[in-house]
Amino acid sequence: MKYKIFHKKSCAYYPRANGQAESTNKVLISLLRKMCYLHPLTWGTTYLGVVWAYKTAFKVTTKHTPFQLVYGLEAIAPLEFLKGSSRVGHPRIDNLQVMSNINMNRLHQLEEKRTIADSTLEKGKMKRKAWHDRNLCKTEIKEGSLVLLYQPSF
């Protein structure tokens, strides 16, 4: 290949295929409806606050906030800038080596948080599956048994 261009085929957008994004959008739309119930024309200005609230809210499934999983730090609320907070004022560090070490530590901590969030999600999935499977009727199909075969016509 002269230009190292690879052709990849993909299917058209299918909303049900991206469950996590659709779940997030459903929550955001629900919050927007509640916030804009009395004044529906203000959704454009309300949207940023709704997204901020969603990104900084603690999620039980991951045991972290989405903001924390992306940036590795807790979000600083705008009120903390106005009133002053110990998290807002950072001491000035002139030594590049020290700053580099601090940033590397933060990156390692971020990876650890993401790994913990992944394992927490997996544990939650297994718990939900076990809860679902305990009430299922276990039927065994033996060779030669008659079964109903569903073939949808396309």
Q: How confident is the model at residue 152 (pLDDT cuts 50, 70, 90)?
A: confident
Looking at the whole model, is its pTM more than 0.75? no
Listing DSSP states for 14-28 in one string gives -GGG-HHHHHHHHHH
Domain ranges of the chain: 17-55, 58-83+100-127
> DSSP code of 64?
B
Between 5 and 122, whose confidence is greater?
122
> DSSP code of 57?
S
Mean pLDDT score of the chain, rounded to an integer? 84
Angle at 51 between CA 46 and CA 54, to 5 degrees: 125
Question: Are the C-beta atoms of 47 and 32 separated by less than 8 Å?
Answer: yes
- Taking residues 42-68, report their average pLDDT: 89
Write out pLDDT tens, residues 94-145: 777 887 888 888 888 889 999 999 999 999 999 999 999 888 888 888 899 8
Residue 146 and residue 143: Cα distance in Å, rounded? Answer: 9
**Residue 40 confidence (pLDDT):** 85
